[in-house]
Amino acid sequence: MMIEVVVLGFFQDYTGRKNIELEIEKPITIREILKRISPELAEYIESHPENSIILVNGVSIYNMKGFDTRVRDGDKISIMPVVGGG
Amino acid sequence: MLKGGWTGKILWIDLTKEKSTIWKYDPSMALHYIGGRGFAIRILWDHLKPGVDPLHPDNLLIFAVGPLTGFPLPSSGKLVVASKSPLTGGYGDGNIGTKASVMMRKAGYDAIVVEGKADEPVYVYVEEEDVTIHSAKDLWGADVREVHKELTNKYGRDSGILTIGKAGENLVRYAIVMSEEDRAGGRPGMAAVMGSKNLKALVIRGEKPLPAVDEKTIKELGAKAYKDIKGAPMYPHWMEQGTMMIYEWCQENSVLPTYNFREGFFEEADKVTGKVMAEQYKKYQKGCPNCNMPCGNVAEAKKRYKGTKAEMDYENVAMLSSNIGVSNMDDVIKLIREADDLGVDTISVGSAIAFAIEAYKKGYLKEDELDGIKPDWGDAASALDLMHLIIERKKFGDVLAAGVRYASLRLGGDTVKFAMHVKGLPITAYDAHVAPGMALAFGTSSIGAHHKEAWIIAWEAQYGFEKVDKTKVEKVIELQRIRGGWFETFVTCRLPWIEVGLSLDYYLTFMEAATGIKYSAGDLNRIADRIYTLIRGFWIREYGYWMRSMDMPPMRWFEEPLTQGPKKGAHLSLDAYNQMLDTYYELRGWDRNGIPRRSTFDNLGLSKEARELEAMGIELTP
Ligand code: SF4
């Protein structure tokens, strides 16, 4: 099973790239995904949840089960800082 | 009496009478309105005759700083420029980062008001109590950079210089005040007001110490705040890309304005991101006074316009790239440079160009009306020609120079649906098909569609774009209070707080150290509410009526779903928007038509103003 992860902004400093494809065996949680792509990023995000936006297929995990939200085959995960711009 | 923070003085310049006076204002204005836009609305309400044509000599042009401006604390080099807007007909203001802010403080003033009109082009030189008016005949017609250079040579590098370009001279209704070549402020046509007064520039110098009750605390705490900023996790990324870092973020969330806000997703966005700008085009960065997180990223074109440099802020870039379909960085740099040199608001001119392309393609405009220009999406050369047509006010450019609201009323038909403005002020660079909170922020911003007050979009992405509830409306108001209230009255830059997370607590201590008065967050919010209600009162006074449709974003976002990108099919719901607007009015104490209730005026100490509106025949709900 494949999931697609997009990492934006300074979170790329942790992952080194923007697009990541992850092979998973069974549905896993956002927390596990974060650990798999970068344990340091996972630590940062979990300690500053207000500074990050995580979307599963465009929907904020805030409105699902937070870090315990499970993702499945074909899901698209976007991980981004609460950026500025104005 | 005022002990510190404020100088207690306002310089009032009358260009018709060629004289100036120093006004020692009633200190209660400082206590109840703080400064910046608070002073501006208070002065406009009290001293502007209702119904004055914004381009008439009687209109007042106000430059105002605040009790924190200029101190050695983060990003304190800002000033507010305000007037009755020739673009919207209501209250207009903008803030600009410039040495002129610090110099106004050192010259000993909390504000400078200009009224009247000079017989011939002039500039005004203010050096503390010495105010002189000089001929600007030689400078008339010159672009912003030339004027800046000329006046810098004459008065020195540390002078504060505010100027207008050709757009202001030609009374383009979204001409913007410029400083230091590419800093801009006053989107609702503040530079057209300058132009209408024949005022090409204002130069300010002074050496007076800034008044503070407790200078030591400001210094020490300021140093600590600067350190916090440097240590913030966001800092390195911010320093690399500035506001441009949001470009790809907007694309990812389908809120990047594309093809005149028809879409929120631009297929060529990859070529214009903050990363591309930083890695391939950026030359250096510059900032406003007292700022250690400068966001003016100056990029240089490489091919077609080799050597041309411009400051790349997200708003400028998005409105002159995706929103007109352009993806070549060289073209974007050129368009921004040109707009800055001419002194026209990049956002509004981007909106006007996009509107003209769409109107032309849909058959509302003919080639000859555009002087032979055949505009098209992605065609930067014709966009540049259109910009000149507007600034020269030739053919239909003359209509476009009055803004997209006016142009759409002239053209009629469906053009009204794709004239992307609220209250006449073009929407800034966030497409809100998917973002009801941002739509409400645009709808209720106090100067017309602008993001500076409630830039809710990042919060909204996290909270859930799809939600339309009271919490979201409350957030809009909270942001309006802090961004449109606190920072616009202190007057300092909001970005240290919003971008790198500097704690708001600092500002309460800064205020106490500067003024000796202990303002709580609640006090400041109440002042912000007073300002919002008075500004709303001003719009009603000038329009003579009010309707809730004036607080609505354009119909495009409701009626024409996105056709591109991952959020294909998304659009705003009219019912949901109306529900949010009702909640907004209720929380603000305004009635169902957006008119503040009599009791709201009374509670905010604005009973006299309420009576004035009633005397005009405006019915106020109790
Ligand atoms: S953050 Fe940018 S806008 Fe704010 S003061 Fe610094 S340079 Fe100016």
Same-domain status, B41 and B162: yes
Looking at the structure, do residues B186 and B289 belong to the same domain, yes or no? no
Pick from A48-52, B75-79, B335-339, B414-418: least confident: A48-52
Token match 């003359």: residue? Answer: B398
In a domain? residue B509 = no
Domain identity same for B480 and B584? yes
Q: Which amino acid is at B481?
A: R
SS3 state of residue A82: coil
Please tell me the distance from the alpha carbon of residue B583 to that of residue B588, in angstroms, as a whole number.
9
The CATH number of residue B38's host domain is 3.60.9.10
Please state, in angstroms and rounded to a whole number, the distance separating the CA atoms of residues B155 and B574: 55
pLDDT digits (tens, 9 = 90+) for A28-64: 999 999 999 999 999 999 988 888 999 999 899 999 9
| 3-state per-residue secondary structure call for B378-389 | CCHHHHHHHHHH
What is the percent of chain B where pLDDT is above 90?
99
Residue A84 has pLDDT above 80, yes or no: no
Mean pLDDT of B576-604: 98
Helix (H, G, I), strand (E, B) or coil at B530: helix
Measured between CA atoms, the residue of chain A closest to residue B295 is A85
In chain B, the percentage of residues whose pLDDT exceeds 70 is: 100
Final residue before a domain boundary, out of B369, B402, B425: B425
Residue B141 Cα to chain centre, angstroms: 24
Predicted confidence band of residue A9 (pLDDT cuts 50, 70, 90): confident
The reported pLDDT for the residue numbered B233 is 85
User: Given a cut of 80, is residue B172 above it in pLDDT?
Assistant: yes
Buried b (16+ CB within 10 A) or exposed e, A18-50: eebebebeeebbbebbbbebbeebbebbeeeee
d(CA B244, CA B238): 9
ipTM of the assembly? 0.89
Is a pLDDT exceeding 80 seen at residue B215? Answer: yes
Q: How far is CA B531 from CA B34, B439, B534, B580, in A?
A: 10, 22, 5, 22
Spatial strand order in the sheet of B19-24: B19-24, B9-14, B111-115, B61-64, B78-84, B91-97
Helix axes B521-543, B37-47, angle to 10 degrees: 40
Q: Where among B369, B394, B425 does a domain terminate? A: B425
Say if residue B212's pLDDT is above 90.
Answer: yes
Are B467 and B392 in the same domain? Answer: no
Q: Per 3-state DSSP, what percentage of chain A is helix, strand, and coil (rounded to 5)?
A: 40, 35, 30
Listed in sequence order, the residues at least 6 apart from B266 whose beta carbon sits closer than 8 Å to its beta carbon are B251, B256, B258, B321, B322, B325, B327
Partner-chain contact A10 B234, CB within 8 Å: yes
Q: What separation in angstroms does the CA of B482 have from each of B146, B301, B493?
A: 37, 37, 12
Q: B105 lies in a domain?
A: yes
- What's the whole-number mean pLDDT along residues B54-69? 98
- Pairwise CA distance, residues A28 & B445, whole Å: 42
Which of B355-364, B497-506, B575-584 bottoms out in mean pLDDT, i.e. has the lowest? B497-506
Domain residue limits at B554: 436-501+520-615
Task: Work out the mean pLDDT of chain B and round it to a whole number.
Answer: 97
Does residue B142 sit in the same domain as residue B289? no
Residues B450, B420 within the same domain: no
Are A41 and A11 in contact by the 8 Å Cβ rule? The answer is yes
Q: Are residues B327 and B441 in the same domain?
A: no
Residue in chain A lying closest to B244 (CA):
A85
Q: Tell me if B227 sits within 8 A of B506, measured CB to CB.
A: no
Residue B620 within a domain? no
| Whole-angstrom distance, CA of residue B328 vs CA of residue B379 | 10
Torsion of CA B485, B491, B492, B494, to 10 degrees: 20
Strand partners, B113: B12, B62
Ligand 1 neighbours by CB, cut-off 6 Å = B 75, 97, 287-288, 291, 293-296, 493, 495
Cα(A21) to centroid(ligand 1), Å: 37
Contact B219, B140 (CB under 8 A): no
**Which strands, in side-by-side order, build the sheet including A19-23?**
A19-23, A2-7, A76-81, A52-56, A59-60
CB neighbour class for B383 (10 Å; exposed up to 12, middle 13-18, buried from 19): buried
Q: Residues of B near A (CB-CB distance < 8 A)?
A: 233-234, 236-238, 243, 245-246, 248-250, 252, 314-315, 428, 451-452, 455, 458-459, 461-467, 495, 498-501, 566-567
In a domain, B551, yes or no: yes
Are residues B267 and B433 in contact, defined by beta-carbon separation less than 8 angstroms?
no
Query: Are B422 and B442 in contact, with CB atoms under 8 Å apart?
Result: yes
Looking at the whole model, is its pTM more than 0.90?
A: yes
Q: Same structural domain for residues B399 and B464?
A: no
Does residue B359 fall inside a structural domain?
A: yes
Which atom of ligand 1 lies closest to the CA of B289?
5
Q: Is residue B162 part of a domain?
A: yes
Name the residue among B236, B246, B463 with its Cβ closest to that of A83. B246
Output DSSP code: residue B449.
Answer: S
Residues B352 and B411 in one domain: yes
Model confidence pLDDT, tens digit, residues B66-77 = 999 999 999 999
Residue A85 pLDDT > 80, yes or no?
Answer: no
pLDDT for B108: 98
**B219 inside domain:** no
Q: What is the mean pLDDT of residues B564-582?
A: 97
Number of residues written out for chain A: 86
Measured between its terminal Cα atoms, the distance across chain B in Å is: 35
Type of residue at B295: C
Q: Write the CB contacts of B368 (distance below 8 Å, at least 6 apart in sequence).
A: B395
**pLDDT value of residue B301:** 98
Q: Tell me how far the alpha carbon of residue B113 is from its chain's centroid.
A: 19
For residues B270 and B325, membership in a common domain is answered with: yes
Helices vs. strands in chain B: H and E counts, helices first: 27, 17
> Band of the pLDDT at B234, cuts 50, 70, 90?
confident
- My answer on whether B460 and B419 are in the same domain is no
Q: Are residues B485 and B385 in the same domain?
A: no
Residues forming a β-bridge with B79? B96
Residue B419: inside a domain: yes
Q: Where are the domains of chain A?
A: 2-61
User: Which chain A residue shows the shortest CA-CA distance from B434?
Assistant: A58
Instruction: Give the up-direction half-sphere exposure of residue B400: CA atoms within 13 A in the CB hemisphere.
Output: 29
Q: How far is CA B71 from CA B101, B212, B294, in A?
A: 11, 9, 17
The model's confidence at residue A82, banded by pLDDT at 50, 70 and 90, is confident
Name the one residue in this structure whose structure tokens are 């500076």.
Answer: B452
Tally the domains of chain B: 3
List of chain B residues whose C-beta atoms are within 8 Å of the C-beta of residue A51: 233-234, 501
- Is A46 or B65 the better-scoring residue by pLDDT? B65
| CATH number reported for the structural domain that contains residue B280 in this entry | 1.10.569.10
Q: What six digits make up the tokens of B154?
A: 């004459």
User: Residue B286 CA: which ligand 1 atom is closest?
Assistant: 7
Measured distance CA(B239)–CA(B230) in Å, rounded: 10
Do residues B192 and B59 make contact, with C-beta atoms less than 8 angstroms apart? no
pLDDT at res. A50: 83
Task: Tell me the pLDDT band of A10, cut-offs 50, 70 and 90.
Answer: confident
B311 C-alpha vs ligand 1 centroid, how far in Å?
A: 12
Nearest to B464 among A44, A62, A84 (CB): A62
